[in-house]
A and B are shown apart, each in its own frame.
Chain A
């Protein structure tokens, strides 16, 4: 009997936890460098079909498959900027210290074959020198309303890094496990330094 009860509890416990996300996001990370270091992290989010249609139905008022400036403005204030309270789902550490994201730039929303995309930049303006700097980046929604796809080699790119020596690795970010420690986000680890200091 005890075994049966325990089995029921385990099944119930597991089923309680795993089913939460309502929105699914495929996230792509682009690290944008300049001559002195890293200028920003550009994120591109691809939403699932159902959420895409819900947002498009609400904010592409003239149904032309394109968000004009007015539509984009409403969408930004109704269905994007609240993410500030969620740190834009983006968690960055520089040399082990948490980097607080105050604002994001260049927000764009796009419709492509019925799928919604958000693009925006997180300004970093990190100056590099010849000593290694370590940047850890994870993208996840700690409330787990949204499931963000794990970072993979294919979802990461780096731009304008001619003057930079860098290594990229991806691992599990066990330290930031969320949703009662049940979901372990993936983590992009960048080690960077300048090739030559002017």
Chain B
């Protein structure tokens, strides 16, 4: 895979995943979308993709709408009938809903992709980390709804927006710090490699802070299911649906994370005989991934300031 292609993939992931997840209806100062210049620019200067992709997108939206509508219908049906068949349909629909929902912008995909690009990670471990992010993302929504129910006791939608905005600001700050840590760690390793090859520190950086930072951001899709279940007085069913949805989301998020692991593996497995050149390539890639992580998190953070 050529460097140009890799760069294109990175840019593509960056731009397609960086829309702020703000509900336009909710009056929260942090989401005055039209007043944010950088966001305005995103709209007026669209990146054009092949018409075949555009065709897919235009057609898939009604499908998504249908899945969401079936989910709400099945939840109502199950409440009425308690039927096992309906329950089975409900589980399946929530899983598919999760898979498709996580494919949208957000949900930690870009961060995971960049992290895995900047860190050598085993495939299995990468999958576990990605799935953990997806589940935390959903659990965070359950926790925020719980906080609103027992402490805030005000409008769920508005409170969720406010709490979510604050959590996102904290999360992206942590991600920026993680990015800087990876960047400088790789930079120091490059300097060290100039002196002694064996001292190159290519060890994996612990993923737990990243999982926490990314996973803490509550999922707006999960919120909608939880609020719907609250309105039907079937909150336990709503929580179960959110967990099933998280399983579906983990498939998509893992796929995004695995793309990063795979790219890192492909690039660093290029056959370079010169050990030093290999080390520089590997560390440069890690630095690029870290920079990408910083840029992405900074871009997202400024949207909330």
Contact = CB atoms under 8 A, between A and B. Distances in A.
Are A and B co-members of a single complex?
yes
B33 A86 contact: yes
A145 B23 contact: yes
A178 B73 CA distance: 31
A8 interface: yes
Interface string B61-73: 1001100110111
B22 interface: yes
Interface string A73-97: 0100111111111110100000000
A2 B64 contact: no
A22 interface: yes
A180 B228 contact: no
B93 interface: no
B224 A78 contact: no
B43 A142 contact: yes
A54 interface: yes
- Interface secondary structure of A, over-half rule: helix
Contact of A82 (B31, B54, B105, B231): B31
Contacts of A8: 259
Contacts of A166: none
Interface in B217-275: 220-221, 223-225, 227-228, 230-232, 252, 255-256, 259, 266
Given A53-B228, A86-B34, A178-B46, A24 B54 contact: no
Contact of B256 (A12, A56, A141): A12
B259 A82 contact: no
A143 B9 contact: no
A178 B19 CA distance: 12
A82 B26 contact: yes
Interface in A1-45: 2, 5, 8-10, 12-24
B259 A18 contact: no
B15 interface: yes
B56 interface: yes
A21 B34 CA distance: 18
Which of B16, B31, B232 neighbours the largest number of chain A CB atoms within 10 Å of its CB? B16
A130 B22 CA distance: 45
B65 A24 contact: yes
Interface string B18-49: 01111111111001111100010011001111
Given A16-B12, A143-B24, 8 more contacts: A10-B53, A16-B16, A19-B64, A22-B220, A22-B221, A24-B65, A54-B224, A83-B25
Interface of B: 1, 9, 12-13, 15-17, 19-28, 31-35, 39, 42-43, 46-49, 53-54, 56-58, 60-61, 64-65, 68-69, 71-73, 100-105, 109, 155-158, 220-221, 223-225, 227-228, 230-232, 252, 255-256, 259, 266
21 contacts: A13-B53, A15-B252, A16-B16, A16-B104, A17-B49, A18-B57, A18-B61, A19-B100, A19-B104, A24-B65, A49-B73, A54-B231, A55-B157, A57-B231, A78-B157, A80-B25, A82-B24, A82-B32, A86-B34, A147-B65, A182-B54
